[in-house]
Structure 1
Amino acid sequence: MNIGIIDIGSNTIRLNVYELNNKSFHLLFSKKENVGLISYVYKNNLSLEGITKLKNCLLRFKTTLEVLDIYIMDAFATASLRNLDNSKDVLSIISNSLNIQIEIISGTTEGELSFLGAMHQIQQPTGIYIDSGGASTEFVFYKNFKNLYTISLNIGSLNLFNKFVDKIIPTKEETLQIQKHIFKEIEKIKAPKEISIPSTLTVTGGNMRAIRSLLIHYGRLNQDEYTFSAKEIHELLLLLSENKTKTMRLFLKIKPDRVHTMFCGLLILDAITNYFSIQNIQICTNGVREGYLIQKYIGGQNENNTK
């Protein structure tokens, strides 16, 4: 059985198609569009232009699935739609025009599903897992692979960029403002006392994977490596701050669709590692989409086996 899962994020909308066989699944292909829905939000409402962008993207994804004779499709939205004042109107328009039902998941649920999807990749049995996206970052504190505490914070690479950055790469003053804001948000976390902060932080998200690509580009990480020293993030920030024009060209070469959000993603990761005195970082390739698939079609923790 083949299933299409559409993840409607604040920056990108992604379609993943999985082959599901009993309790195992395999990613057949992935397709994404950088719609940037958060850029079409005015006075906490998604504009008509934004709704049209969303509708057209979903129509293209639906057409792709129909061409492939795939008629099992689920769509969910995270911070891109859940905090809007007109979210019900947006859902109604999409449902009436495309017959696509979008499920809006809460920040807590997003963190829980992301943790579930990445669980088989996580190396540390006890620690912190984060999923950093365009509009929010979810934190999961877990022990023996059991989720004990989940919180969603309003720190995302795209909303930080929109709020603080005038051009593409933040100035020194803008960087300080971003860092101050991130630390203020992190202080809202009330971590369980039984969780001892690990030496390794596990992360996922598009910008987190883009950061790994930067490290590979600079020869600080091999193609088959997913764990590295947290010091690399701070050193990378210093290096990229030296020449903003050169940095922008590098971002365009590495991940052109994230040229405006990658630096803010680095600042988020750097702030988290500093706050929790993290020594190493592990990048996961799976996350909320796989967790959504597991919960709806497989069920249960630790039952997923990807091929």
Structure 2
Amino acid sequence: MKCGIVDVGSNTIRLSIYHWEGQTFKLLMNKKEMAGLAGYIKNGLLSDSGILVACRVLAGFKALLRNFDIADLYVFGTASLRNIVNTEEALETIEAVTGIKVEVLSGADEAAFSFLGATVGGGAPGSGMLADVGGGSTELVAYRDGAITSGCSLPMGSLSLFTKHVSGLFPTKEERKAIRSDVKEELEKAKTAGLRCSHLTGVGGTFRAAAKLCNDLSGADPDNRIIPAGEIHALYKGLKKGDQDTLRQILRSVPDRVHTILPGLAILTAILDAYKVSTVSVSACGVREGYLLRRVMEGTSHDQ
């Protein structure tokens, strides 16, 4: 069977198309749109313009699946729709315009699905910690012997911090301090605070972008997914200093994240410091694969 799964995030809206049979699945295609929904939120409200951006992207994805003769489309929202005061209005408008029902995941479900996806992708072995840094939220999960022991969702992401604190393209020194203060405050409130973990599994676009930049700058294999914490700290330091080689590499490697990479790295480096992390493995799988397994594959097997 084939299906499409869409993650309506605060920074990107991503479509993944899978073929699945029984308990196995294969990714056929990925497509993303940099919707930047967090930039349309003011005083907790997602504006009409932001809702229509989501409608436009979702309608396009729906048409794409129709061209591929794929009828099954599952759409979920994360912090982009969870952390606003007009969630119901947004969902009703999206359904009225596109005919698509969107499920809004709780922070706990998002964390659990990210962990499940990373586990299936081989990115979260044994015991340790997982972090999923998105555009509008950050999920932290501690696990032991393949089971979650504690977890939480924090209302901070690369785009939401940029929107809240940054007036230009790159944050000033004072803006970086404000971002760092917010991140530190949220991490101190996390259920996982006080834990120590030398190895961290990273999920999400911010981790993938950081890994790509580190690999490109160091000359490592582009497919390398094991990144020393020191390289991520060095990347953040180079960007803060305005190092021209590092800035040019951003434009070559991750141009769509030129404005969010610094706030994202502020979150990443704070997590590495807080949990005394020495190495990071970046998972190829995450919340969409977890959703596929739990909501689609398990749900379908129960219905049969």
Judge same fold: TM > 0.5, yes or no: yes
* Number of the residue aligned with 2:95: 95
Distance in 1 (alpha carbons) for counterparts of 2:248 and 2:76: 33
Superposition map of 1:9-24 within 5 A: 9-24=9-24
Give the fraction of aligned pairs with identical amino acids, expressed as a percent.
Answer: 39
Cα offsets for 1:268-299 (capped at 9, x unmatched): 11111111111111111110000000002333
Which amino acid in structure 2 is aligned with residue 237 of structure 1?
A: Y
**Contact 2:78–2:105 (CA under 8 A) maintained in structure 1:** yes
- Stretches (4+) displaced over 4 A: 244-248
> Shift of the alpha carbon at 1:197?
2.6
Which amino acid in structure 2 is aligned with residue 15 of structure 1?
A: L
Alpha carbons of structure 1 residues 137 and 175: separation in structure 2 relative to 1, 3 Å: same
* Number of the residue aligned with 1:105: 105
* Number of the residue aligned with 2:292: 293
1:175 equivalent to 2:186? Answer: no
> Shift of the alpha carbon at 1:243?
2.3
* Number of the residue aligned with 2:53: 53
Cα offsets for 1:70-108 (capped at 9, x unmatched): 000000000000122211111111212221010000111
* Number of the residue aligned with 1:115: 115
Cα offsets for 1:161-200 (capped at 9, x unmatched): 111122122222222221121111000123399xx63310
* Number of the residue aligned with 1:165: 166
> Shift of the alpha carbon at 1:248?
4.2
Deviates more, 1:160-169 or 1:136-145: 160-169
1:144 equivalent to 2:132? Answer: no
Which amino acid in structure 1 is aligned with residue 70 of structure 2?
A: I
**Contact 1:140–1:151 (CA under 8 A) maintained in structure 2:** yes
**Contact 1:18–1:26 (CA under 8 A) maintained in structure 2:** yes
Look up the SS of the partner of 1:218 in the other structure: helix
Distance in 1 (alpha carbons) for counterparts of 2:247 and 2:136: 22
Distance in 2 (alpha carbons) for counterparts of 1:103 and 1:243: 41
Which amino acid in structure 1 is aligned with residue 261 of structure 2?
A: M
> Shift of the alpha carbon at 1:233?
1.3
Aligned residues between the structures: 298
Distance in 2 (alpha carbons) for counterparts of 1:205 and 1:101: 24
Which amino acid in structure 1 is aligned with residue 207 of structure 2?
A: M
TM-score computed with the length of structure 2 as normaliser: 0.93
Alpha carbons of structure 1 residues 173 and 246: separation in structure 2 relative to 1, 3 Å: farther
Deviates more, 1:184-193 or 1:16-25: 184-193
Cα-Cα RMSD: 1.7
**Contact 1:139–1:150 (CA under 8 A) maintained in structure 2:** yes
1:28 equivalent to 2:55? Answer: no
> Shift of the alpha carbon at 1:222?
2.0
